Amino acid sequence: MKQTCQPLVFRIVIQILQKRKVAANWVPHQLSEEQKAASKRVAEDLLRRYEAVSEQLLNRIVAIDETWIRDFEPQLKSQSSQWKHATSPRPKKFRRQQSKVKLMMIVAYDKNGVIATDRVPPRSAVTAAYYRKFLQDVLRPKIRQKKGRHLRSRCPHFA
């Protein structure tokens, strides 16, 4: 009886109730109302600039982000599933521990992709001085190499 009920239940849920199973979107952290408002102001300013100068603005935007990386990321349960016969033994999966080694990586990118990356040395703090050094020693040479024609002498940080 179980085998005959299951397709009926799925048909009711999917076709009649028009439901589908979805996974939640993962977000790195929840923003406060103040952070959301600041982000909205920046987005609106960028939109006004884009409407004024179009593609020229997109060619000049460079975003910088930080992320933690590990030596090992665990495999999801769905990634290790296999089709097996009912009488076959279940596959074994050994639990692996995440690496205790975590590194912070800084990534700079534009509309065309990654421009530069930097692995922050272990036990180092990412301070204003660290970012200044990254901008001067890593990012500026890469931007000059890839986008030299877009740089203007009136911009003191990349001149």
* pLDDT tens, residue by residue, 10-55: 888 888 888 877 777 766 677 889 999 999 999 999 889 888 887 7
Both 107 and 133 in a single domain?
yes
Per the CB < 8 A criterion, the answer to whether 93 and 80 are in contact is yes
pTM greater than 0.85 (yes/no): no
Residue listed under structure tokens 């890593």? 138
Both 67 and 130 in a single domain?
yes
Both 115 and 126 in a single domain?
yes
The DSSP call for residue 88 is S
* Assigned domain for 8 exists: no
* Assigned domain for 83 exists: no
Q: Quote the pLDDT of residue 103.
A: 84
Q: Quote the pLDDT of residue 28.
A: 64
Q: Which residues pair with 117 in a beta bridge?
A: 107
Tokens of 78: 């769905």
State the pairing for strand pair 113-120/102-110.
antiparallel
Answer with the one of 61, 81, 106 that is the final residue of a domain: 61
Both 56 and 66 in a single domain?
no
Domain that holds residue 134: 62-71+98-159
Number of domains forming the structure of the chain:
2
Amino acid at 11: R
Question: Order of strands across the sheet with 102-110?
Answer: 63-70, 102-110, 113-120
Answer with the one of 15, 41, 61 that is the final residue of a domain: 61
Both 109 and 37 in a single domain?
no
Both 66 and 141 in a single domain?
yes
Both 116 and 131 in a single domain?
yes
* Assigned domain for 15 exists: no
Confidence band, pLDDT 50/70/90 cuts, at residue 146: confident
